[in-house]
Structure 1
Amino acid sequence: MNTLRTKLTALLVIAILVVVAISTVFFFYVLGPRPERRGEEAIVAEIALILELLRGGSGTEGSALAGVRSNPPEGWFDPVASRMLTRAMEARGEAQTVTVYQPEQGGAGSASVRLPDGRYLVLPVHMMPPPPNNFSLILGGWLLLITLGTTGVVIVAVYRMTQPLAIIEKAVAEIGPDGELPKLEETGTTEVRAAAVAINRLSARLKSSMESRMRIVAAAAHDLRTPLTRMRLRAEFLEEEREQWLADLSELDRIADSAIRLVREEVEGAGSEAIDLHTLAQDLTQELQETGLNAELLRADAVTVVGQPIALKRAVRNLMVNAATHGRAARIGVYAEAGKGVLVIEDDGPGIPEALMARVFEPFFRVDPARQATIPGAGLGLAIAHEIVTRHAGVLSLANRPGGGLLQRVELPRAS
Structure 2
Amino acid sequence: MAIVACSSAATFLLFMAMVFYPGAPPNPPWPWQTTYRIAALVEILKGLPEAERDGVIKAAAQGQALKAQLNSMPTRCLDSTLDTRNLESALRAQLPTISGITARSCAFEDQHPDIQVLVPFGHDTLEIRTDRIGRGPPRFSFPIFGALLFLCVCVTILSVWAVSRVIRPLRRLSAQAEAFGQNISIAPIEEEGPLEIRRAAHAFNLMQERIANSIQSRTRMLAAISHDLRTPLTRMRLQLETGRIARDKLMRDISLMQTMVNSALAFLSGDSVTEEKEWLDLGALLSTLCDEYEDSGARIHYDGPDQIPFLCRPAAIQRVMTNLIENAICFGGFVAVIASVRGAHIMIDVSDDGPGVPDEKLTDVMEPFFRLDSARAGRPGSVGLGLSIVNDIVRAHGGTFRLFNRKPSGLTARIEFL
TM-score calculated relative to the size of structure 1: 0.48
TM-score by length of 2: 0.48
